[in-house]
Structure 1
Amino acid sequence: MTVVKRPPLTSDERTQLTGWLDLQRSFVRMKCEDLNETDAHRSLLPTSPLMTMAGLVAHLRWNEYSWFQLNLLGVPDTGQTPWTEDGHPDVEMAVDDVPIAQLLDEYDAECARSNAAIADLSLDAVEQGLYAVKGEAASLRYILCHMIEETARHLGHLDIIRELLDGSTSYDRLSPEQPA
């Protein structure tokens, strides 16, 4: 398991934003380490049956795609997303038949694609997708801040679900030289 280090304390804004996002992203795989398929797909919250370890990983993957590809770059959705106009709003979390290892690999690949998408963009670059058309375009700076928040919030959900599943906490699995 590779956990990214925190960004340097005095680094520039871009390094801070991408560094903190990459750190949060690296914790997703850590929280799923040694998780069996049954537990990965086990629903523990009666009012939120799609909120499983696997469902949250899938949700994070599609959030990466939505914010960086669809919204920021304005890449048209050609039907590859799980969403439909009249479908369930959280359909991306319905992944009972997808192995957790595949979901984690897809998440990692999407994060790498997100990083590649923003590599040459200014933090002041604005969305080119649907929100730009509506006159509500966000800057890359905003998107990075939002994705740090979004990823960290769902990491908290992963922490709670994992602890309810098997008593494991993610910090139990950190080596002394890894950041807490």
Structure 2
Amino acid sequence: MSSKPRIPKTGSERAQLEGWLDTQRSLVRMKCEGLSDTDAHRQLLTTSPLMTVAGIVAHLRWVEYSWFHQNIDAVPDEGQTPWTEDGHPDAEMFVSGVPLGRLLDDYDAECERSRAIAARYELDDVEKESFGQPAASVRYILIHMIEETARHLGHLDIIRELLDGQVGYLKPGNP
């Protein structure tokens, strides 16, 4: 796997938040390097069959979309999301047959759009659409996305180790 990106240890609050989020985002692709489509879709957890590498990447893509496009920018869902009113709550994770490369490219493109949206707002600005919940600031959303992405990187760590023994940032046998 590639080397881990470094985050500057000094800088503005915004630079730090965006740096940490971008680092977490980059690690998603790193965790998927060299993985076959078959393994990316392999269901290893019988109690959580949607928890696959492919399902996690798809989930992260749609979480980016949800928080930045729908919440911050209030872009209405006109059928582009996988969610429907009576549909499965984890519909974004139903990606059987979608190549991992496409899922990663879609995720990267969504992250670019999210960066552009966040850049138009101040950290204290609040989301335009909060779906009946108290509105969150852009700062809160950036912190939440760091947490969300990092948490799912932990899932990717475990699944990847179960699939082929790859752990951390190193290949097996490479100290």
TM-score grouping bracket, smaller chain normalisation: over 0.9
- What per-residue deviation string (whole Å, max 9, x for no partner) do you get for residues 114-166 of structure 1? 001111210011111143xx361100000000000000000000000000001
User: Matches of 1:170 and 1:112 in 2, distance apart?
Assistant: 25
- What per-residue deviation string (whole Å, max 9, x for no partner) do you get for residues 7-57 of structure 1? 321211000000000000000000000000110000000110000000000
**Unmatched segments (≥5 aa) in structure 1:** 174-180
User: Matches of 2:37 and 2:62 in 1, distance apart?
Assistant: 21
Q: Matches of residues 21-100 of structure 1 in structure 2 within 5 Å?
A: 21-100=21-100
Of 140, 153, 163, 1:165 maps to: 163
- Number of aligned residues: 172
Tell me the TM-score normalized by structure 1. Answer: 0.91
The answer (yes or no) to whether the contact 1:74–1:129 under 8 Å persists in 2 is yes
Q: Matches of residues 117-132 of structure 1 in structure 2 within 5 Å?
A: 117-131=117-131
- What per-residue deviation string (whole Å, max 9, x for no partner) do you get for residues 78-115 of structure 1? 01000011111111001011000000000000000000
Tell me the TM-score normalized by structure 2. Answer: 0.93
The sequence identity of aligned pairs, in percent, is 67
Once superposed, which parts of structure 1, at least 4 consecutive aligned residues long, lie more than 4 Å away?
A: 1-4
Aligned-residue offset at 1:5? 3.3
User: Matches of 1:90 and 1:172 in 2, distance apart?
Assistant: 31
User: Matches of 1:48 and 1:113 in 2, distance apart?
Assistant: 30
2:79 match: secondary structure: coil
Cα separation, partners in 2 of 1:99 and 1:76, compared to 1, 3 Å: same
Aligned CA-pair RMSD: 1.7
The answer (yes or no) to whether the contact 2:57–2:104 under 8 Å persists in 1 is yes
Moved more, 116-125 or 51-60: 116-125
Q: Which residue of 2 aligns with 1:10?
A: 10
Aligned-residue offset at 1:6? 3.2
User: Matches of 2:36 and 2:8 in 1, distance apart?
Assistant: 35
